[in-house]
């Protein structure tokens, strides 16, 4: 079959040598946004929400948590968390649209 005495060692070395030539230092340039990436009135609007609404909005839309994760964290049902989220978003929309008009 093969003249190689140590097949796993041979494959390991081949893998090492194949990847070694492809290693390049990656550099990423982060561009600084010219304008704020958030609505300036967002913080006061978030402060006006109840703590449960604010928790749901920030964790779900700000940090990407699921309804189930927030419900488990707060010790409530998923539907209750969804209600807090919807009411909070509705209140935020009303306040932010009123500020820009």
| Interval 34-44 mean pLDDT | 80
Residues whose CB falls within 8 Å of the CB of residue 84, separated by 6 or more in sequence, listed in order: 50, 52, 53, 55, 56, 76
Q: How confident is the model at residue 10 (pLDDT cuts 50, 70, 90)?
A: confident
- Of 46, 60, 42, whose CA–CA distance to 88 is shortest? 46
Q: What is the pTM assigned to this prediction?
A: 0.61
User: For the segment 54-76, what is each residue's pLDDT rounded down to a tens digit?
Assistant: 999 999 998 999 999 999 999 99
């Amino acid at each position: 079959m093969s003249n190689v005495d140590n097949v796993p060692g041979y494959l390991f070395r081949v893998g090492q040598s194949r990847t070694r030539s492809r290693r390049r230092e990656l550099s990423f340039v982060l561009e600084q946004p010219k304008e704020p990436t958030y609505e300036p009135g967002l913080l006061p609007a978030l402060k006006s929400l109840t703590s449960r609404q604010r928790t749901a909005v920030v964790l779900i839309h700000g940090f990407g948590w699921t309804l189930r994760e927030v419900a488990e964290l707060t010790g409530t049902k998923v539907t209750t968390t969804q209600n807090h989220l919807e009411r909070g978003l509705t209140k935020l929309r009303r306040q932010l649209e009123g500020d820009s008009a």
